[in-house]
Amino acid sequence: MAKQESGRQRPARRAGLSRLFGDWVAEVDSRTLKADALAGLLGALLVLPQGVAFATLAGLPAEYGIYSAIVPCVLAALLGSSRHVMSGPTNANSLALFAVLAPLAVAGTPAYIELALAVTVLVGLLQLAVGLLRLGALANFISPSALFGFTSGAAVLIALHALVDALGLAIEGHGTADTAAGIVKNLGQAQAGAIAVAVATIAVTLAVRRWDRRKPHMLAGLAAGTLAAYAWNALRPEGAVALLGSLAQPWPPFHVPEVPWRLLPDLVGLAVPLTIVALAQSISIAKAVAARSGQAIDANREFIGQGVSNAVGGLFSSYLSCGSLNRSLPNFEAGARTPLASVFSAVLLIVLVLLSAPLLARIPHAAIAGLLLVVAWGLLDVARWKKLLRVDRIEVLIAAATLVATVFIRMEIAILLGTLLSLGGYLHRTSRPAMRTMGFEADDPARHFVPLEGQGGTLPECPQLKLLRMEGSVYFGAAVHVADRLHALRAAPDAPAHLLVMSKSMNFVDHAGVEVWEHELRRRRQIGGDLYFHRPRPQVMEAWTRTGFLDELGADHIFPDKQAAIHEIYQRLDPDICRTCTVRCFLECGPYGYAGQRSVVAPASEPRKPES
């Protein structure tokens, strides 16, 4: 009896866990656990050097990079929607955090650490609010070009700050200009040992990555740099390479950040752009992995998971985290089946740190700098810049402006600038919708419609009916452009009085757009013509109905297909003009001298040969 009750309770417990964590809970068995454990081991090996390097980039002691790959990694995986995204410290987040906090405190000091943890908690609360309010779609307004420009700018900053340790320099100042000037000024004091260690790290990292991308190339590079530093320090003790030193402890301690209340408004202001950066990265990475796995992603659930991971992680000595592409894709490729791979990764990371603490203390700063230089080069993505130059110059300008702002201005301003420029580019495009004059190919007996602009071998236009294809919405931003184009069509010499608008691609109209068509209808009728539409969208018809434009136009001026439109409108053309017209572009036109309108019984005279 007890066994039966236990058997009934087990599915009930799984159902409850599935509602909390996701439908993957029901799939957990010995096979998935084994696959997730192996993938988790790879994740732990990958994040060990990355966590140390990214914490340094964020201006924090190395152990904080390790802490950020434990609690946030577990919570984001269990509460998010992606099965494969691994969260933790990232280069962009680390640099963004350093950029916003450097003006407030000296990196690495207790005051700086408290600010970093407090901002992390605030970012988590903002992310949680975005998810709970179902505002995940807001991340879609950060265009790929703006995000790419930000990432490229981050790459420049990563490389600039990494060069300091790679050259073994001691530079005061934290700003971009101060760092660049310090490197140039002190270049003669560069340490040969640091340079040798950085070069060895870079060479081994790139060699292993080229040999097999699935291998932990960053770990191999870090090991090579550590061995190079050990050898150098043994042979040249007078020019010893600086080492990392021992970590405080391998597990994340609970700690409530202590910051003055007067700084809270400023910290909230800093947390907003960091929230945007982290959410944009997380959802982009989740979608990138989902494109390979075929999994559907719930953006709002993903944001809730990220929010909880940062809000709670900040209380466990973890700094700003989000989905990591460097770990998420290898996690998927390693065969991870469920989010438990992230749990295994966090647990195994603690074990690795406990076992390798003496070795971690001997990691040289120059080796970490070498890893960061490799990361920076990958982020810069020169091939994508070349592709963007070939495809769209406006997108290049957006990316370049965001890059410059990221390097020389505050990072939150760069994200805002890139977003505003992207929206401006979108408004510029949509404010000038294409309006193409349509006609027919001369050698096409079926009379298929083709655009006349730049098209050779087409029939002349009908002198009474203009065919126009509308490609885009007619809203307040586009109203002036559309009205000017319609006026130009009417004002042209011998302009047709009738206008048929092919409006299948006119997505919507607002009040200003309705007024444009109302004005055009009245002007057409004043000159003895009329206005007609082919296949307007349902939402456009609704707007016309609500505003009364459809009543003014007449339902008989809306046509379901082009042939029916031409046939019906032809009946309303002036038969006297049709009779003497030499164009004969419609099938209804017939031979020269013929007018096929219902009011005309027969042709009036012998057809006259058109002049050559």
Helices (H), 294-410: 299-313, 325-333, 340-360, 365-380, 382-391, 393-408
Q: Are 407 and 399 in contact (CB under 8 A)?
A: no
Residue 598 pLDDT greater than 90, yes or no: no
Average pLDDT on 226-253 reads 82
Count of alpha carbons within 13 angstroms of residue 43, beta-carbon side: 39
Mean pLDDT of 338-342: 91
Predicted confidence at residue 288, as pLDDT, reads 67
At 443-496, the pLDDT tens digits run: 777 777 888 876 777 788 899 999 999 999 999 999 999 999 999 999 999 899
d(CA 324, CA 121): 19
Q: Please, which pLDDT band fits residue 594 given cuts at 50, 70 and 90?
A: low
Asked if pLDDT for residue 64 goes beyond 90, the answer is yes
What average pLDDT is seen over the chain? Answer: 84
Strands 434-440 and 322-323, sheet pairing? unpaired
Mean pLDDT of 356-382: 82
* pLDDT at 600 (0 to 100): 41
Q: Which pLDDT band holds residue 602 (cuts at 50, 70, 90)?
A: very low
Taking only the tens place, the pLDDT of each residue in 82-112 is: 888 899 998 778 888 988 898 888 888 999 9
**Domains of the chain: which residue ranges?**
22-423, 432-588
CATH of domain 432-588: 3.30.750.24
For residue 18, the model assigns a pLDDT of: 62
Most trustworthy range by pLDDT among 194-208, 215-229, 281-295: 194-208
Token pair recorded at residue 497: 């009085």
Task: Tell me which residue of 35, 63, 82 sits closest to 309, measured CA to CA.
Answer: 82
Between strands 434-440 and 87-88, the pairing is unpaired
For 403-421, the pLDDT digits (tens) are 898 888 766 677 778 888 9
Confidence of residue 354 (pLDDT cuts 50, 70, 90): confident
Buried b (16+ CB within 10 A) or exposed e, 529-548: bbbbbbbbbeebbebbeebe
Q: 149-181: buried (b, 16+ CB within 10 Å) or exposed (e) per residue?
A: bbbbbbbbbbbebbbbbbbbbebeebebeebee
The pLDDT tens digits for 132-186 are 998 877 766 777 888 788 778 877 887 887 888 888 888 766 567 778 888 888 8
Encode pLDDT of 526-546 as tens digits. 999 999 999 999 999 999 999
Judged by DSSP in three states, 604 sits in coil
On the question of pLDDT at 612 being above 50, the answer is: no
How does DSSP classify residue 212? -
- pLDDT tens-digit map of 504-515: 999 999 999 999
The closest of 416, 449, 480 to 561, measured between CA atoms, is 449
Lowest mean pLDDT among 265-269, 361-365, 498-502, 564-568: 361-365
What pLDDT shows up at residue 164? 86
What pLDDT was estimated at residue 68?
95
Contacts of 388 (CB under 8 A, 6+ apart): 145, 148, 395, 396, 399
Give the residue with greater pLDDT, 7 vs 391: 391
Give the per-residue pLDDT at 281: 74
Residue 498 has pLDDT above 90, yes or no: yes
Lookup: tokens for 114: 């408290």
pLDDT cut 70: percent of the chain above it = 90
Instruction: Examine the pLDDT at 19 and tell me if it is beyond 80.
Output: no
Q: How many angstroms separate the CA atoms of 360 and 48, rounded?
A: 9
